Amino acid sequence: MKSDYIWMDGELVPYKDATLHVLTPALHYGLGVFEGIRCYDTSRGPGVFRLQEHLERFVNSISVLGVEHFPYTVSELSDAVHMTIRANRFSECYIRPLMYMADGPLGLNLDVSRPAVSIATWEWGTYLGKAALETGVHMMVSSFTRPQPNSVMTKAKITGNYVNSALAKTLAVRSGFDEAIMLDPEGFVAECSGENLFLVRAGALYSPPKALMLEGITRDSVITLAGDLGYQVVEEPVTRDQLYIADEIFVCGTAAEVVAVREIDFRKIGSGKMGPITSQIQEAFFKTVRGEGERSNDWLEIGSKTEYSAGI
């Protein structure tokens, strides 16, 4: 997670100085919002994937949390992201914007502390492991449930919400699985601890509806790419047993990218290997993020190689 600089409220701060006081309110009550974005190395220079959409979701998450007087626009944040990548001379990296409630007296009233922002970047390989991209993962359906949407709200990447994801992920890994699939309060499939999910049956793709999950930007990209490849995508409630009898399942997210699921709860999915449709979608996704797909120009903000390798 190392880099030379981290952007903090308008300034590039050396990595070792990018620290906070232990009484920062965000640390005590989960009062923060974050984004996860990837920048890919393309033949034309570093390309940030769907930056505008990620930053719009960031600002929307802050609004869902109810923070008033957030001082940055999407355009200012976008400039700051590019500045941070340039300062660190990365051609490929993960980007982590974070809003955290800072400086106020400790307490639960959001109105007494100040929203501060940092943007960190680092070189981050595959989240679920390189082998996962080729052979797929084994997942469990978690005994932890996604929150009811009138408690903490799943449309927002609020840091405190990720306790729920951490409980599920840790239990899954300790139990020998790679990742956790989480059900909504009514028992339908919602999403994973950090990914959205698709299943394939009889040549069509299915994904749970958006109401009770994070509206994944990779999920949205997959829906478009699947449409481009001629597949029908149906958004409808999905049950646990529909997972077990699917022909193929894959999960997707900025960190995980597109990964096949080969087994769930010790039940082989389809052939138990990455299926042909998953493989096609994965290939289309990587072509797109590497600047070689038909959607690349719409979805990548590519900076010039010379400018980005010059640093600050």
Ligand X SMILES: Cc1ncc(COP(=O)(O)O)c(C=O)c1O
CA distance 262 to 135: 7
Residue whose token pair is 């990595």: 15
Size of the site for ligand X (CB under 6 A): 13
Selected catalytic residue, list 2, 130, 157, 273: 157
For residues 266 and 312, give the distance between their C-alpha atoms in angstroms, rounded to a whole number. 51
What amino acid occupies position 143? S
Catalytic residue status for 155: no
One character per residue 4-43, x = contact with ligand X (rule: CB under 6 A): --------------------------------x-------
Q: Which of 214, 225, 246, 260 binds ligand X (CB under 6 A)?
A: 214
- Closer residue to ligand X in complex, CB, 166/234: 166
Residue 285 and residue 252: Cα distance in Å, rounded? 10
Residues 234-273 touching ligand X, rule: CB under 6 A, are 253-254
Q: Give the nearest distance from C-beta 257 to ligand X in angstroms.
A: 9
Spatial separation of the C-alpha atoms in residues 137 and 263, rounded to whole Å:
7
* Amino acid letter, residue 4: D
Among the listed ranges 111-119, 212-220, 238-246, 276-284, the one in contact with ligand X (CB under 6 A) is 212-220
The window from 71-79, 167-175, 216-224, 301-309 that contacts ligand X (CB under 6 A) reads: 216-224
Determine if 196 is a binding residue for ligand X (CB under 6 A): yes
Dist CA 165 CA 174 (whole Å) = 14
x-marked contacts with ligand X along 163-182 as a string, rule CB under 6 A: --x-----------------
Number of H helices, E strands in the chain: 10, 17
Among positions 178, 184, 195, 248, the unique one binding ligand X when judged by CB under 6 A: 195
Q: How far is the CB of 252 from ligand X (least distance, A)?
A: 6
Cβ proximity of 163 and 171 under 8 Å: no
Q: Could you give the 3-state DSSP secondary structure of residue 63?
A: helix
d(CA 1, CA 122): 5
Tell me the C-alpha distance between 121 and 110, whole Å: 27
Pick from 31, 217, 225, 284: which binds ligand X (CB under 6 A)? Answer: 217
**Angstrom distance (rounded) from CA 157 to CA 54:** 11
Give 113: exposed, middle or buried? Use CB within 10 Å, 0-12, 13-18, 19+: buried
Min dist CB 200 to ligand X, Å, is 19
Dist CA 93 CA 117 (whole Å): 19
Instruction: Choose, by CB under 6 A, the member of 178, 179, 184, 191 that binds ligand X.
Output: 191
What amino acid is encoded at 151 in this protein? S
**Closest to ligand X by CB, 45 or 194:** 194
207 near ligand X, rule: CB under 6 A: no
Question: Which residues are bridge partners to 133 per DSSP?
Answer: none
Residue 282 CB, shortest distance to ligand X, in Å, is 14
Least distance to ligand X from the beta carbon of 66, Å? 20
One residue of 45, 194, 208, 291 binding ligand X per CB under 6 A: 194
Where does this chain bind ligand X (CB under 6 A)?
Answer: 36, 165, 191, 194-196, 214, 216-219, 253-254
Catalytic residue ranges: 157
